[in-house]
């Protein structure tokens, strides 16, 4: 069997999950202009929530998913309220470092609560792999992709039609104007963090279902930076496209270049690609160019 379609299809599937995680990042950035370096740790915590509900408490799949989403929303809300609210208007360096510190706290806590042992989520999808004719996709990956795309679609619809979504977009566009139109800007920040937390946690559950969970699962979160840079920091469509591109790219690079470098190309290829993009487009492919005035 030819390897190329296989690589592309599984790359697309992985890319869909990346898109969901990147969406969590973009939601928060769009509304609050905070760069959340703890996105990966939100994922990891989400996966552990799922583990706790399903493996330890024996909750069935669907209610467990709902519970994970509720918990992740509460976590996002708390983080915004307790820590990030104080950082409004601070320089970029401080905000970046606060979220990095936060990621460290979450990682340590996860290790204290759930220990550093590698854990497997209980099987939650039918086991039969999906055969697409040209390629075969592992069932976890295929269902993960479907769930991701459904979630991304749901978020896009919320943003486009729901009242809260419209208010969030207004806040992203111009905080002052939104405020004067009677939108509660602060609660929009909380909402953005809650939604961002949900998106990341769902992504974490899917990634965890594919590869197992451990406190260092959050490392996957670093990969969303190439994704969001590629797609532009404040565009949901860009995040999806960027996710798919990066997913395919890393799979192709891993499949074809690994023999020459002795492995590990998959991890570094997205970053190399991102540097190349940034060389020519300093604000990413679809990013909004910032115009500064004195």
Partner 1 sequence: MRIGDFKETYAADEAVFRTPTVRFWLYLLGAAILVFPLLAGEYLIYMANITAVAVVGAVGLNLLTGCTGLISLGHAGFMGVGAYTSAILITKFGVPFILTLPLSGLMAALCGVIVGAPSLRMKGLYLCIATLAAQVILEFTFVHWESLTHGIRGLNVPAPTLFGLSLASGPVFYYVIMIVAAISVTASRNLFRTRVGRAFIAIRDRDISAQLMGISLFRYKLYAFALSSFFAGMAGCLMVNLLKVVTPEQYPLHLSIQYLAMIIVGGLGSILGSILGAIFMTIVPELLRSALGLFQGLDPQIMSYLFPLQTVIFGALIVGFLVFEPHGLAEMWRRAKAYFRLWPFEY
Restricted to residues 214-233, the positions that interact with partner 1 (CB under 8 A) are 215, 222, 225-226, 229, 233
Nearer to partner 1, 2 or 292 (CB): 292
* Whole-number Å distance between alpha carbons of 149 and 129: 19
* Whole-number Å distance between alpha carbons of 26 and 64: 25
Taking CB under 8 A as the criterion, the residue among 57, 66, 116, 181 binding partner 1 is 116
Restricted to residues 122-161, the positions that interact with partner 1 (CB under 8 A) are none
Q: How far is the CB of 216 from partner 1 (least distance, A)?
A: 11
* Alpha carbons within 13 A on the beta-carbon side of 87: 22
Could you identify the residue written with the tokens 């977009």?
169
Q: Give 291's DSSP letter.
A: P
Q: How far is the CB of 96 from partner 1 (least distance, A)?
A: 6
- Taking each helix axis from N to C end, the angle separating 185-211 and 39-51, rounded to the nearest 10 degrees, works out to 60
* Binding pattern for the stretch 232-251 against partner 1, x by CB under 8 A and - elsewhere: -x------------------
Residue 46: exposed, middle, or buried by beta-carbon count in 10 A (0-12, 13-18, 19+)?
Answer: buried
* Whole-number Å distance between alpha carbons of 38 and 101: 8
Restricted to residues 86-105, the positions that interact with partner 1 (CB under 8 A) are 86-87, 90-94, 96-98, 100-105
Nearer to partner 1, 140 or 214 (CB): 214
Q: How far is the CB of 265 from partner 1 (least distance, A)?
A: 8
Nearer to partner 1, 115 or 184 (CB): 115
Q: How far is the CB of 95 from partner 1 (least distance, A)?
A: 9
3-state secondary structure 208-247: HHHHCECHHHHHHHHHHHHHHHHHCCCCHHHHHHHHHHHH
DSSP β-bridge partners for residue 130 = 137
Which residues are near partner 1 by CB under 8 A?
A: 35, 83, 86-87, 90-94, 96-98, 100-112, 116, 215, 222, 225-226, 229, 233, 261-264, 267-268, 271-272, 274-275, 278-279, 282-284, 292, 294
């Amino acid at each position: 069997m030819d390897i190329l379609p296989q690589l592309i299809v599984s790359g697309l599937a992985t890319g869909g999950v990346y898109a969901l995680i990147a969406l969590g990042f973009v939601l928060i950035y769009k509304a609050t202009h905070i760069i959340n370096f703890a996105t990966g740790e939100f994922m990891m915590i989400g996966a552990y929530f799922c583990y706790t509900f399903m493996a330890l408490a024996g909750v069935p799949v669907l209610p467990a998913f709902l519970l994970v989403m509720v918990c992740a929303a509460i976590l996002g809300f708390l983080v915004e309220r307790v820590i990030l609210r104080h950082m409004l208007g601070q320089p970029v360096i401080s905000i970046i470092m606060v979220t990095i510190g936060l990621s460290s706290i979450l990682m340590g806590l996860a290790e204290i609560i759930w220990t550093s042992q590698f854990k497997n989520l209980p099987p939650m999808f039918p086991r039969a792999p999906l055969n697409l004719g040209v390629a075969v996709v592992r069932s976890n990956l295929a269902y993960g992709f479907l769930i991701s795309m459904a979630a991304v679609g749901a978020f896009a619809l919320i943003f486009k039609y729901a009242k809260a979504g419209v208010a969030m977009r207004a806040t992203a566009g111009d905080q002052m104007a939104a405020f004067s139109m009677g939108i509660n800007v602060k609660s929009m920040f909380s909402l953005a963090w809650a939604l961002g937390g949900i998106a990341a946690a769902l992504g974490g559950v899917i990634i965890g279902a594919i590869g197992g969970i451990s406190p260092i699962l959050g490392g996957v979160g670093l990969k969303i930076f190439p994704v969001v840079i590629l797609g532009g920091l404040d565009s949901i469509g860009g995040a999806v496209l960027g996710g798919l591109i990066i997913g395919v790219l890393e799979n192709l690079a891993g499949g074809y270049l690994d023999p020459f470098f002795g492995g590990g190309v998959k991890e570094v290829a997205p970053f190399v690609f991102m540097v190349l993009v940034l060389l020519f487009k300093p604000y990413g492919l679809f990013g909004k160019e910032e115009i500064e005035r004195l």
